[in-house]
């Protein structure tokens, strides 16, 4: 059996930066460092940082007065920042710059008098942070079918932003539905779906062209990992989300000649390596490993000033 690895896969620049922020903050103090929400959606990453002294909380009022509090890569609303300040916490912002860019778009549209439709998944922490940028002036839709029932204050004064980790193809359908119902809506110039999400989806499309099964290594809470499963499934290739090698059911690969493997943007590479090793062990001695051509995504985000060398 042949195992083909997608490229790019795994960590993106925003996840690299967020993890480095926590590591640097821990290295600079003997006190516990508090982190709001999972810094990135991966249990192994979170457990590793916890073992090094990070304390994960869901809200700022769970951290003691005066403590350092790191905001996760998914971003926070101004309401969370206000609670942090009120409690005398010392915030460090690990929000991915590409999420911050979407927040800035929301603020610009509000200054221009627009209400904003966000395309995203209800309950996702990034969506809560972005919707919280303009409470009372934003509407959330997830799929094209949500658009028909959307009640807005002024159909002629609308803008649109999206969650950064959506399916590119599905989002285009929702935007088309919005444009059909609200012709003057200002859609994102380039959609807000980030480079890492787009590149990983394109790579899974390439995998799906040759593999009979696509395995995505990622956490159930990871939006971009779930979208990768959907991309392969929509192309007619069975696909499963797995958190680690032990999740693989040997029956999935019985009789297959080619299995594709990719990973969401918050998945460490060692988990991918373990999955490949396990697949090869199950498939037997004649298994081979190939990789799609390596792509340099050329992205690197600066650390916050207080943590730079």
Of residues 205 and 227, the one with the C-beta less far from ligand SF4: 227
- Cα torsion 219, 225, 227, 231: sign: negative
147 lies in the binding site for ligand SF4 (CB under 6 A): no
Of residues 15 and 138, the one with the C-beta less far from ligand SF4: 15
Of residues 64 and 304, the one with the C-beta less far from ligand SF4: 304
Distance (Å, whole) CA 300 – CA 159: 29
CB of 42 to ligand SF4, least distance (A): 12
Asked if residue 63 lies in contact with residue 41, where contact means CB atoms within 8 angstroms, the answer is no
- Strand ranges, E, within 218-302: 239-242, 258-263, 288-291
User: To 10 degrees, the CA torsion angle through 28, 29, 34, 36?
Assistant: -10
CB of 253 to ligand SF4, least distance (A): 29
Both tokens assigned to 49: 């940082």
Of residues 96 and 242, the one with the C-beta less far from ligand SF4: 96
CB of 187 to ligand SF4, least distance (A): 19
Query: In the window 14-43, what residues touch ligand SF4 (CB under 6 A)?
Result: 14-15
CB of 51 to ligand SF4, least distance (A): 23
DSSP string, 147-194: TTT---S-TTSEEEEE-TTS-HHHHHHHHHHHHHH-TT-B--SS-S--
- 289 forms bridges with which residues in the sheet? 3
CB of 97 to ligand SF4, least distance (A): 7
Element (H, E) at 55: strand 54-57
Residues 6+ apart with CB under 8 A from 87: 60, 61, 63, 65
Query: In the window 237-266, what residues touch ligand SF4 (CB under 6 A)?
Result: 265
Of residues 49 and 96, the one with the C-beta less far from ligand SF4: 96
96 lies in the binding site for ligand SF4 (CB under 6 A): yes
Q: Interacting stretch for ligand SF4, rule CB under 6 A, among 10-18, 140-148, 179-187, 235-243?
A: 10-18
Tell me how many residues contact ligand SF4 (CB under 6 A): 15
Return the residue nearest ligand SF4 (CB atom): 14
* Residues designated as active site: 126
Query: In the window 45-84, what residues touch ligand SF4 (CB under 6 A)?
Result: 73
For residue 203, the Cα-to-chain-centroid distance in whole angstroms is 16
Q: For residue 251, count CB atoms less than 10 angstroms from its CB and return exposed for 0-12, middle for 13-18, buried for 19 or more.
A: exposed
Of 84, 164, 171, 239, the one binding ligand SF4 by CB under 6 A: 164
CB of 87 to ligand SF4, least distance (A): 26
Q: How many C-beta neighbours within 10 Å does residue 52 have?
A: 12
Both tokens assigned to 286: 């004649």
Of residues 103 and 205, the one with the C-beta less far from ligand SF4: 103
Question: What is the residue whose two structure tokens read 């509407």?
Answer: 139
Of 35, 98, 131, 203, the one binding ligand SF4 by CB under 6 A: 98
Query: In the window 167-226, what residues touch ligand SF4 (CB under 6 A)?
Result: 194, 196-197, 224
Asked if residue 188 lies in contact with residue 161, where contact means CB atoms within 8 angstroms, the answer is yes
Give me the numbers of helices (H) and strands (E) for the chain, helices first please. Answer: 9, 12
Query: In the window 269-298, what residues touch ligand SF4 (CB under 6 A)?
Result: none
For ligand SF4, the binding residues (CB under 6 A) are: 12-15, 73, 96, 98-99, 164-165, 194, 196-197, 224, 265
């Amino acid at each position: 059996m042949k195992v083909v690895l997608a490229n790019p896969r795994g960590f993106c620049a925003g996840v690299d930066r967020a993890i480095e922020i926590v590591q640097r903050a821990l290295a600079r103090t003997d006190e516990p460092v508090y982190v709001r929400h999972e810094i990135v959606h991966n249990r192994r990453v979170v457990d590793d940082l916890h073992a090094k002294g990070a304390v994960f909380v869901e809200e700022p009022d769970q951290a003691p007065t005066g403590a350092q509090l790191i905001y996760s890569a998914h971003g926070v609303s101004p309401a969370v920042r206000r609670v942090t300040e009120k409690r005398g916490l010392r915030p460090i912002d690990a929000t991915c710059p590409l999420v911050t860019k979407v927040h800035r778009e929301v603020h610009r549209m509000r200054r221009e008098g627009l209400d904003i439709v966000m395309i995203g998944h209800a309950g996702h922490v990034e969506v809560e942070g972005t919707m919280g940028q303009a409470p009372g002036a934003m509407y959330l839709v997830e799929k094209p079918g949500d658009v028909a029932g959307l009640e807005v204050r002024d159909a002629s004064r609308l803008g649109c932003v999206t969650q950064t980790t959506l399916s590119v193809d599905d989002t285009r359908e929702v935007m088309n539905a919005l444009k059909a119902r609200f012709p003057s809506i200002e859609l994102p110039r380039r959609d807000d779906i980030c480079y890492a999400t787009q590149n990983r989806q394109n790579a899974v499309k390439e995998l799906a062209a040759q593999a009979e099964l696509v395995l995505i290594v990622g956490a159930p809470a990871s939006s971009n990992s779930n979208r990768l499963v959907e991309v392969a499934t929509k192309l007619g290739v069975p696909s499963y989300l797995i958190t680690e090698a032990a999740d693989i059911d040997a029956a999935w690969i019985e009789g297959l000649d080619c299995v594709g493997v990719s990973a969401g943007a918050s998945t460490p590479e060692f988990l991918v390596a373990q999955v490949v090793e396990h697949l090869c062990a199950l498939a037997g001695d004649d298994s081979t490993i190939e990789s799609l051509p390596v792509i340099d995504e050329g992205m690197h985000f600066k650390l916050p000033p207080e943590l730079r060398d």
